[in-house]
Amino acid sequence: MATTDKEHALQGHLGAGSLMMLIIAASAPLTAVAGGAPTSYAVTGMVEVPMGYLVLGVVLLIFAVGYAAMSSNITNAGALYAYIATGLGKRHGLAAAWLALVSYNAMQIGLYGIVGVTISGTLSALLGIEVSWWIAALVCWLVTALLGAMNIDASAKVIGVLVLLEFAVVAFVDFIGLANPAEGLSAQAFDPAGFAGPGVGAALAFGMAAFMGFESATIYAEEAKDPKRSVPRATYGALMLIAGFYAFSAWAIGQGVGDSQIVDRARELGPELIFVFLEEGGHGGLATVGRIIFVTSLLAALFAFHNAVARYALVLGREGVLPEKLGRTHPKTHAPIYASLAQSALALLFIVGFAAYGEATNAGPEFPVLTMFSWLTNAGAFGIVFLLLITSIAVVMFFRGDREHNVFVRVIAPVLAMIGLAVIFIEILIHFDVMVGQEGFHPLVVGMPSVILLTGVAGYIRGEMLRRSNPELYECIGTGVGVAA
């Protein structure tokens, strides 16, 4: 059975600042601004895309009120899984755990598709070296696997440097855009009246990708210095920084290109928009640096989601729900070594599988972006938003009868978050065809969300089976510890 002693405990000394860097790494600032913002402009046809980031930020800050309050009572690397198991029951918790494993794996593995293509294109453009996308992806896979075996304090420093470089590049782009506005400075992007058209749903659906991973501070609770204080601080700080900085940056880019041109230019250039903008403005050197940092941005996101998967698997291994070996940590680095290796092995299978299919069918250079990246990351985002929605319900149930916290924390905030997240979830479902590049009821449009949700159903059924066949192990679900040997 899973161990209950401290031999395989996660260890670290993360403060609120380090936790914020790990959270922001998952949202990948340069990727969100260079890739996400132009995509939102292109798909929605709205100048008010920056307003979407602020709306999402408000919804998630409201969610964070109850979530952070609950974190002061629960210190568990299982995060959303542990919260749902505590608030709604162990069967719901196991359903959430399985759904989380699939969703975070999908987010992480899907990124290899775009990072491989990005590195391949960058090497070709800058050095004239032609490298297949899957070779570049395998190099990133190896780096991620090595970082996953390191102590979290050491790897957090690496991630922190990469994230700061991203912010520096985006800040330069913002400065250039505002210093040389194409049509004069305008506040149209923040006009609430304009944020009411048919593209609002798509803006919320695509904008949500910029916030993926904001909830991950709780995953590192066992590795934080003072989790009861640092986890809430990191969560609030990261959310405010993400919402404010991304909204400001999307607006600044819009000012540099021009309100009347931003949608058309985004549709024409896509993720190349800010780099072409820099080159056209005589900042070719910064554009080159930006393309390189874009690669490291994706690498930081890869590692952030790898961490999330490994820690969910570690908790389930401890509890005996998954093989006990997954619940062990490295004796020196205290990293979740076997869970990390398992995630790396799964990612390797997908990289090799997509590479083999692409080679066999002579697929074009954008194949891994249009398939591996688009399919998996959007399916993962769909699952994570659903988990956040269920967590809001769990927060309300957890604080029933509680008198320590006020009614806003216990009821009002989580209910408002529940409503907001339900709207976002429905919008993602409605626009899932656009997000995966298909039309109508394509098998992918129906199949990908179904796989995510059915995974949760399977987890619930497994929980019921354990309740009947192994009550002792069933009682361990959501606790972070296993049955005593």
Grouped pLDDT means (10 residues each) for the chain, 485 residues: 50 74 81 84 88 93 90 73 90 93 92 90 87 95 89 75 88 93 92 78 80 78 77 88 93 94 90 88 90 88 88 88 87 85 96 94 84 87 92 92 84 94 89 75 84 93 93 86 61
Rounded CA-CA distance 286/43 in Å is 27
Rounded CA-CA distance 188/296 in Å is 33
Q: How many CB atoms within 10 Å of residue 365?
A: 13
Residues, the chain: 485
Tokens of 100: 């989380």
pTM of the predicted structure, to 2 decimals:
0.88
CATH of 16-474, picked from 3.40.605.10, 3.40.50.300, 1.10.275.10, 1.20.1740.10, is 1.20.1740.10
Q: How many whole angstroms from its chain centre is CA 410? A: 26
Tokens of 113: 């598709």
Please, is 332 exposed, middle or buried when counting C-beta atoms within 10 Å of its C-beta (0-12, 13-18, 19+)?
A: exposed
Rounded CA-CA distance 326/324 in Å is 5
Would you say 19 and 217 are in contact if contact means Cβ atoms under 8 Å apart? yes
Label each residue of 23-36 as H, E or C.
Answer: HHHHHCHHHHHHHH
For every residue of 121-169, DSSP letters joined together read: HHHHHHH-----HHHHHHHHHHHHHHHHTS-HHHHHHHHHHHHHHHHHH
CA distances from 244 to 145, 169, 180, 322, 458 (A): 32, 16, 21, 40, 39
CA distances from 56 to 50, 99, 345 (A): 10, 23, 34
Contacts 24+ apart (CB under 8 A), 402-406: 405/69
> What is the structure's pLDDT at 9?
59
> What is the structure's pLDDT at 10?
60
For the chain, the domains span 16-474
CA distances from 410 to 199, 229, 310, 416, 479 (A): 33, 19, 31, 11, 22
In the chain, the amino acid numbered 72 is S
Q: How many whole angstroms from its chain centre is CA 471? A: 34
Considering only CA atoms, which of 359, 293, 318, 307 is closest in space to residue 133? 359
Label each residue of 182-240 as H, E or C.
Answer: CCCCCCHHHCHHHCCCCCHHHHHHHHHHHHCCHHHHHHHHHHECCHHHHHHHHHHHHHH
